[in-house]
Amino acid sequence: MLRVEIRDSADTLVLKLEGRFAGDDAKQTRTLAADVAERGKLLVDLTEVVFVDATGEEALSFFGQFGAQFVAPNSYLLDVCERLNLHVVSNGRASADESGAPGANGDQLRPSRFKPRKR
């Protein structure tokens, strides 16, 4: 099952996908996006996607041909985007960098709760 949320702003159309991006759902989403992609910048948020099949990959590649940018917050989705040569943007959930500065949304690195055993 796939849920598609469309948010439209002055210069960017955001497609937020949730669930399995596969089969007929992916084809219909591709058709929908093709109809509206001409209006401006396209951002495809894959944060809640749990699976992408070959049809879904074709649709993502199609979005990439329009110059779409993708939010891919986990290793599975990053791998999919990398294999398809898609442009991934920061998703605002980045953790602190090596300097200890807060991430894009102000998150701080949490100290480890691991305590070494005493012998």
Transcribe the chain into DSSP letters.
-EEEEEEE-SSEEEEEEEEEE-HHHHHHHHHHHHHHGGGSEEEEEEEEEEEE-HHHHHHHHHHHHTT-EEE--SHHHHHHHHHTT-EE---S-----TT----TT---PPPP---PPP-
CATH code assigned to 2-88: 3.30.750.24
Predicted confidence at residue 118, as pLDDT, reads 56
pLDDT for the residue 117 = 53
The pLDDT score that the predictor gives to residue 81 is 96
Q: Please report the pLDDT score of residue 41 as a whole number.
A: 87
Task: Supply the pLDDT for residue 28.
Answer: 93
* pTM (predicted TM-score): 0.73
Say what the pLDDT of residue 58 is: 96
Read off the pLDDT of residues 72-119 as tens digits, 9 standing for 90 and up: 999 999 999 999 999 999 753 333 333 333 333 333 333 434 444 555
The residue ranges of every structural domain in the chain are 2-88
